[in-house]
Amino acid sequence: MKRTTIALAAFALGTGMAFADTVAPGNVAFDGYEVAESLTGTPGDPEKGREIMTNKSEGNCISCHAAEAYADVPFHGEVGPMLDGAGDRWSEAELRGLVVNAKMAFEGTVMPAFYKTEGFNRLGDGFTGKAHPEDKPVEPLLNAQQVEDVVAYLKTLTE
């Protein structure tokens, strides 16, 4: 019994340590609209980034952005610009800034901020239409590693 408790405690601490390197949404350091520092210190995985961007229940970037690079996935939106070549047009720091909070680059843009947890009006509890419970922590649309994965994939979108 004692043993298990100690083991569990160690485990919890372990994950806690890993998280210590993660930059919280409120602490992201912008230089203009750029974010130079990785949010996790762990390099992003472009494969995962592609999945996140094209998956409806994850980033769902595809609902607004088309790209030749993921033309195999059906139904591309047209609200935002096409993303082919984004990896040439923007540096990694710029892309990170765009995904974290595109409003820093494009004032008043309709592109949502994917790594932000404060400052919303009538925040809902996901897609339930109900108010977000006061005592429930607000999750950003993407977590820190997902942002890194998306940035890594965007960097591969060169022409």
Partner 1 sequence: MKMKLLHGIAAAALALGAGTAMADEDAELVINGDLEIVTKTDAPAHLEGAVGEIMSGWRFRDSTTQVMQMDDFDNPGMIFVDDARDMWATAEGSEGKSCMDCHGEPEDMAGVKPVYPKWNEAAGEVRTLQMQMNDCRENRMGAETWKYDAGDAVAMEALLASVSRGMPVNVATDGPGQSTWEQGKELYYTRTGQLDLSCASCHELNYGNMIRADHLSQGQVNGFPTYRLKNTKLNGIHSRFKGCVRDTRAETFSAGSPEFVALEMYVASRGNGLSVEGPSVRN
Q: Can you give the binding site for ligand HEC, defined by CB under 6 A?
A: 53, 59, 61, 63-65, 79-81, 83, 86, 89, 95, 98-99, 102, 106, 109-112, 114, 150, 154
Q: Which is nearer to ligand HEC, 14 or 43 (CB)?
A: 43
Q: What are phi and psi of 6, to 5 degrees?
A: -60, -45
Least CB distance to ligand HEC at residue 135 (A): 28
d(CA 142, CA 52): 9
Q: Which of 72, 38, 37, 36 is nearest to 54 (CA)?
A: 72
Residue carrying the six token digits 């949502």: 112
Among 28, 52, 66, 100, binds partner 1 (CB under 8 A): 66
d(CA 123, CA 24): 19
Interaction of residue 31 with partner 1, rule CB under 8 A: no
Three-state DSSP at 128 gives coil
d(CA 52, CA 91): 20
Q: Which of 23, 33, 20 is nearest to 99 (CA)?
A: 33
Among 4, 20, 128, 137, binds partner 1 (CB under 8 A): 128
Q: Which is nearer to partner 1, 50 or 76 (CB)?
A: 76
Binding mask 101-120 for partner 1 (x = CB under 8 A): ----xx---x-xx------x
Q: Which is nearer to partner 1, 42 or 63 (CB)?
A: 63
Interaction of residue 123 with partner 1, rule CB under 8 A: yes
CB atoms within 10 A of CB 72: 6
Q: Which residue ranges make up the site for partner 1 (CB under 8 A)? A: 56, 60, 62-66, 68, 74-86, 89-90, 105-106, 110, 112-113, 120-132, 138, 141
